[in-house]
Chain A
Amino acid sequence: MVLTTAWVLGCGRSPSFGEREPFIPPDTEEVLARVPAVGVDARARERAALRKALAGHAGQLDMALRLARLEIEASRVLGEPRYLGRAQAALRPWWDLATPPPGVRLVRATFHHARRDFPAALEDLDAVVKEDPGNVDAWLLRAEVLGIRGEHAEAARSCARLTALTASLTVAVCEARVRSLAGHSRKAHALLSEALRHSGHGQETRTRALATLAEAAALAGDAGLAERYFLRALSLDSKDYAARAAYADLLLDAGRAREAAVVVMDHTQDDRLLLRHVLAENALGSSRAPDVTHALSRRFEESRLRGDSLLAREEARFALQVEKAPEKALRLAQAVWASQREPWDVRLLIEAALAAGRPEAARPALDFLQASGCEDPGLVFLAERVRSLLP
Chain B
Amino acid sequence: MSRVALLSLLLASLSAQAQKPSDSYLRLTEADGQGISGRWDVSLQDLDDVLGLDASGDGAITWGEVLAREADIRRYVLGRLVLGAEGAPCALVSQGGLHIRRHSDGAYAVLDFDARCTGSAARLDVDYTLLFDSDPLHRGIVRVGAREPLIFSASQHFARVRVRDESPWRTAERMTVEGVLHVVTRADHLLFLFALLLPSVLRRDADGRWVAVSDFGTALWDVVKVVSAFTVAHALTLVAATLGWASLPPRFVSVAIALGILVAALDNVRPLGWGTRWTVAFVLGLLHGFGFASVLAGMGLSAGSLALALLGFNLGVELGQVAFVAALLPLAFVLRQAPLYRRAVVVGGSVAIALLACLWLAERALGLGVSVT
Contact = CB atoms under 8 A, between A and B. Distances in A.
Contact of A82 (B8, B18, B107, B135): B135
A224 to B, nearest CB: 24
B217 interface: no
B63 A27 contact: yes
Contact of A89 (B43, B135, B151): B135
A85 B62 contact: no
A240 B21 CA distance: 19
Given A113-B13, A140-B10, A82 B49 contact: yes
B97 to A, nearest CB: 7
B45 A82 contact: yes
Interface in B1-18: 1, 4-18
Contacts of B133: 89
Contacts of A271: 18-20
| Interface size grouping (class) on chain A | 35 or more
B208 interface: no
A145 to B, nearest CB: 8
A302 B101 contact: no
Given A19-B102, A110-B9, A242 B137 contact: no
B10 A79 contact: no
A85 B135 contact: yes
A79 B64 contact: no
B165 interface: no
Given A76-B11, A110-B12, A204-B11, A38 B54 contact: yes
Nearest to A69: B5
B102 A20 contact: yes
Q: Is the interface of B mostly helix, strand, loop or mixed?
A: mixed
Interface string A31-56: 11111111111000000000000000
B332 interface: no
B18 to A, nearest CB: 4
A310 B61 CA distance: 29
Interface string B90-122: 000000011111111111001000000000000
Contacts of A24: 97-100
Given A19-B101, A89-B135, A302-B105, A114 B16 contact: yes
Contacts of A321: none
Nearest to A16: B102
Nearest to A303: B20
Contacts of B49: 35, 82, 86
Contacts of A140: 9-10, 13
Contacts of B54: 35, 37-38
Contact of A37 (B18, B57, B99, B138): B57
Given A28-B63, A35-B45, A76 B8 contact: yes
Interface string B71-104: 0000000000000000000000000011111111
Nearest to B107: A32
Nearest to A269: B19
B106 A15 contact: yes
Interface string A235-256: 0000011110000000000000
Given A24-B97, A305-B149, A69 B58 contact: no
Interface string A263-307: 000000111100000000000000000000001001101110111
Nearest to B109: A32
B66 interface: yes
A303 B107 CA distance: 16
B9 A141 contact: yes
A204 B7 CA distance: 8
B136 interface: yes
Contacts of B182: none
A85 B59 contact: no
Given A28-B67, A85-B136, A137-B6, A240 B15 contact: yes
Q: Chain B CB within 10 Å — which of A38, A116, A301 has the most?
A: A38
Contacts of A30: 62-63
A32 B137 contact: no
B12 A33 contact: no
A75 B6 contact: no
A113 B97 CA distance: 42
B166 interface: no
Interface string B192-223: 00000000000000000000000000000000
Contact of A35 (B14, B61, B104): B61
A308 B20 contact: yes
A72 B101 contact: no
Interface in A76-92: 76, 79-82, 84-86, 88-89, 92
6 smallest A-B Cβ distances: which pairs? Answer: A39-B57, A37-B59, A85-B137, A28-B64, A85-B135, A22-B99
Given A37-B59, A72-B12, A205-B7, 12 more contacts: A15-B106, A22-B101, A24-B99, A28-B63, A35-B48, A40-B58, A80-B45, A88-B135, A88-B137, A110-B12, A306-B141, A308-B21
9 contacts: A32-B63, A40-B58, A73-B8, A80-B17, A243-B15, A269-B19, A298-B103, A299-B20, A303-B20
